[in-house]
């Protein structure tokens, strides 16, 4: 029998390895930017075409490479930073100048020009699909110019799995922002399709934050610093009043490497407890400096997930630092954006004491993370599609007294998809037909504090959350419009101009068809700017910009926390943000219409995210409540 096990050619082995290292163009961007930082560059340019499909080019003025080093960098397992296995646990640099280049060169056409300061001429190398095509001497500036062309050109199946250009560009922007935030002492520029997206001069961290996220952040930043023998915390948190609905912009850096860490995120949220509205999240950019021997960065190929040997200690220190920052921010002067207070580069481990860790004992209150970590998604309702078949409305109507007066007759049949919606605003006057239906089918109900509806039910009292009810009604309307591609637009007399962050602009371009299907009419109006010409009829006047920005923010939050398809996400996002605007006083007719429309939906008891809309207080419960008073 013939032997069946054999060694793979290096070219195929590199393509397989590339599957872990290079997931999309943003993976290449991250690797090349970090290589430039490790080369001690002062200026780094990122040039991208077609969201990285056609070209990813990184130009730096760093140390450069010799002809031999340039050639060796494309070999597998080639690195200048590891000599023994122990070195894996003491690395403070970012990318490995040779570790991922072999994988990149296996699935792209790569061209690199590099020259050291001590050399008169540089080196040019061209590699295609792991095969070196050219190596020659050339005249070039000091530093390295790395071009990656036609990503996945020889792996068409992988190329087909790439998302649209706006989605891929959003990932590129995310990686660029993370690297730029971690290194405000380096100048960065970013060009996409020959258009300048970012031009970030050197400066301190607060200025870098404003340059990336906009001038509105200038007044939001509170300084956060804490030094201990075990770990140092530095950076900025947003003031409580600037917290946003959803996740917002939140960044952790451990030894200047971006990480994702739910446990530490909970530490920040815990520090903000009772200072921000429920469901909101603060802005923060926090740097954690710790001896590398206390951290394992090699548990994930992208190194964005790490482990600390004492996570509880880090948790407690971060929570303490953030609490102090938000407690004293209003007593300190406005941040000086001109003086330089950059956090110093971590160049050695001499800053950390060898003394025993003083924070290793147990901390009260830390175990609440396990319960709070899943609180946001503690309810997991069945998928909406499974509820498309309407529940038997009669079962719900039997909850009410006066069943015969409630039941619709043939002349006033309630059809959710055909009847007008009433939101209790001047922009949505009640139609004659809607008024007639509400008068015929009157329900004994009142409004409490412009927030709750109390209706008499057969077994007691029904309490309805007004905002949650509107969210369910709006969701089903929007989802139906998106599926059937039908919507109505109310043209604005004076169009509204909205400036967006580059990443948000890319997201809007990606989902523009769905946003327009809701009833928005908008167009590009300059770089990262759109002009809103029309809005859905439910959007109140003078509220267009806030609703649109809220829709984008909620979509991003859902995208990060939930696994939803695009239509479901857009419908949920817009209904959630729109419903919060309908907390005003309702007339008796509007209350009746709200209840009727709610019970004509597929799932009247829960919002699309699984939050309860109503509860029933039985006569026994009411009697028990009264009896406790005596």
Q: Do domains 205-372 and 384-619 have the same CATH topology?
A: no
For residue 271, is pLDDT > 60?
A: yes
Q: Which pairing describes strands 250-254 and 284-290: parallel, antiparallel, or unpaired?
A: parallel
User: What is the pLDDT, as a whole number, of residue 628?
Assistant: 65
The reported pLDDT for the residue numbered 455 is 85
What's the pLDDT tens digit per position in 520-549?
A: 889 888 778 889 898 888 776 666 777 888
pLDDT band of residue 126 (cuts 50, 70, 90) is very high
CA distance 350 to 292: 12
Q: Are 421 and 428 in contact (CB under 8 A)?
A: yes
Average pLDDT value for residue range 593-613: 87
Q: What phi and psi, each to the nearest 5 degrees, are found at residue 477?
A: -65, -50
> Nearest 5°: CA angle at 578, between 281 and 509?
75
The correct answer on CATH 3.30.1370.100 for the domain covering 384-619 is yes
Give the DSSP letter of residue 88: G
Average pLDDT along the chain: 77
pLDDT grade for 484, boundaries at 50, 70 and 90: confident
Q: Find, among 22, 29, 19, the residue nearest to 55 by Cα.
A: 29
Q: What does the pLDDT read at residue 57?
A: 97
- What are the sequence ranges of the domains in the chain? 10-200, 205-372, 384-619
What number is the average pLDDT over the span 233-260?
88
Residue 75 is encoded by which pair of tokens? 């070999």
Residues facing 618 on adjacent strands: 460
29-56 pLDDT, tens digit per residue, is 999 999 999 999 999 999 999 999 999 9
Cβ–Cβ contacts within 10 Å for residue 232, how many?
A: 19
CATH 3.30.413.10 fits 10-200, yes or no: no
- The model's confidence at residue 84, banded by pLDDT at 50, 70 and 90, is low
Question: What confidence category does residue 212 fall into, taking pLDDT thresholds of 50, 70 and 90?
Answer: very high
| Whole-number percent of the chain with pLDDT over 90 | 28
Q: How far is CA 233 from CA 156, 172, 228, 339, 613, in A?
A: 45, 27, 9, 20, 42
Total Cβ atoms within 10 A of residue 49: 16
Q: Provide the CATH number for the domain formed by 205-372 in this structure.
A: 3.30.230.10
Number of other CB atoms surrounding residue 273 within 10 Å? 10
Determine the pLDDT at residue 28.
Answer: 94
Residues facing 394 on adjacent strands? none
């Amino acid at each position: 029998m013939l032997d069946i096990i054999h060694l793979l050619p290096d070219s195929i082995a590199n393509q397989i390895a590339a599957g872990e290292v290079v997931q999309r163009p943003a993976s290449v961007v991250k690797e090349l930017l970090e290589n430039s930082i490790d080369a001690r560059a002062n200026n780094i340019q990122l040039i991208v075409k077609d969201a990285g499909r056609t070209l990813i080019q990184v130009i730096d003025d760093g140390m450069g490479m010799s002809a031999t080093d340039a050639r060796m960098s494309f070999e597998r397992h080639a690195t200048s930073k590891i000599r023994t296995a122990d070195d894996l646990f003491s690395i403070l640099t970012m990318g490995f100048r040779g570790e991922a280049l072999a994988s990149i060169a296996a699935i792209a056409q790569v061209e690199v020009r590099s020259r050291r300061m001590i050399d008169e001429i540089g080196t040019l190398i061209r590699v295609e699909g792991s095969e070196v095509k050219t190596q020659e001497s050339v005249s070039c500036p000091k530093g390295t110019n790395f071009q990656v062309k036609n990503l996945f050109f020889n792996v068409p199946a992988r190329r087909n799995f790439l998302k649209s250009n706006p989605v891929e560009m959003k990932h590129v922007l995310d990686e660029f922002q993370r690297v730029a935030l971690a290194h405000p002492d380096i100048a960065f520029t970013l060009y996409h399709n020959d258009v300048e997206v970012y031009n970030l001069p050197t400066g301190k961290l607060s200025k870098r934050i404003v340059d990336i996220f906009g001038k509105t952040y200038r007044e939001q930043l509170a300084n956060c610093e804490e030094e201990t023998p075990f770990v140092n915390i530095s950076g900025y948190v947003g003031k409580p009043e600037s917290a946003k609905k959803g996740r917002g912009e939140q960044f952790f850096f451990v030894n200047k490497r971006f990480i994702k860490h739910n446990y530490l995120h909970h530490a920040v949220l815990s520090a903000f407890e009772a200072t921000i509205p429920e469901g909101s999240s603060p802005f923060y950019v926090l740097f954690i400096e710790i001896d590398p021997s206390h951290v394992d960065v090699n548990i994930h190929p992208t190194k964005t997930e790490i482990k600390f040997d004492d996570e509880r200690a880090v948790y407690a220190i971060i929570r303490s630092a953030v609490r102090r920052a938000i407690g004293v921010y209003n007593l300190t002067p406005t941040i000086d954006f001109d003086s330089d207070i950059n956090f110093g580069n971590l160049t050695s481990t001499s800053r950390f004491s060898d003394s025993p860790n003083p924070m290793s004992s147990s901390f009260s209150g830390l175990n609440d993370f396990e319960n709070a970590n899943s609180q946001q998604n503690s309810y997991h309702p069945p998928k909406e599609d499974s509820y498309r078949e309407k529940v038997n409305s009669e079962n719900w109507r039997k909850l009410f007294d006066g069943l015969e007066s409630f039941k619709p007759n043939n002349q006033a049949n309630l059809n959710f998809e055909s009847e007008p919606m009433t939101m209790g605003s001047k922009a949505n006057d009640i139609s004659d037909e809607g008024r007639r239906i509400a008068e015929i089918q009157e329900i004994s109900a009142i409004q409490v504090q412009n927030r709750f509806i109390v209706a008499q039910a057969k077994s007691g009292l029904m309490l309805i959350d007004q905002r949650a009810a509107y969210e369910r009604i709006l969701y089903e309307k929007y989802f139906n419009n998106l599926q059937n591609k039908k919507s109505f637009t109310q043209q604005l007399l004076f169009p509204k101009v909205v400036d967006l962050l580059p990443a948000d602009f890319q997201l809007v371009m990606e989902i523009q068809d769905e946003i327009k299907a809701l009833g928005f009419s908008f167009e590009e109006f300059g770089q990262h700017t759109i002009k809103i010409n029309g809005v859905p009829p439910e959007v109140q006047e003078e509220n267009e910009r806030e609703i649109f920005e809220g829709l984008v923010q909620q979509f991003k939050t859902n995208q990060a926390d939930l696994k939803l398809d695009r239509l479901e996400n857009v419908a949920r996002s817009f209904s959630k943000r729109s419903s919060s605007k309908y907390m005003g006083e309702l007339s008796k007719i509007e209350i009746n219409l709200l209840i009727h429309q709610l019970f004509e939906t597929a799932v009247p008891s829960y919002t699309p995210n699984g939050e309860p809309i109503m509860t029933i207080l039985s006569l026994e419960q009411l009697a028990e409540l009264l009896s406790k008073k005596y």
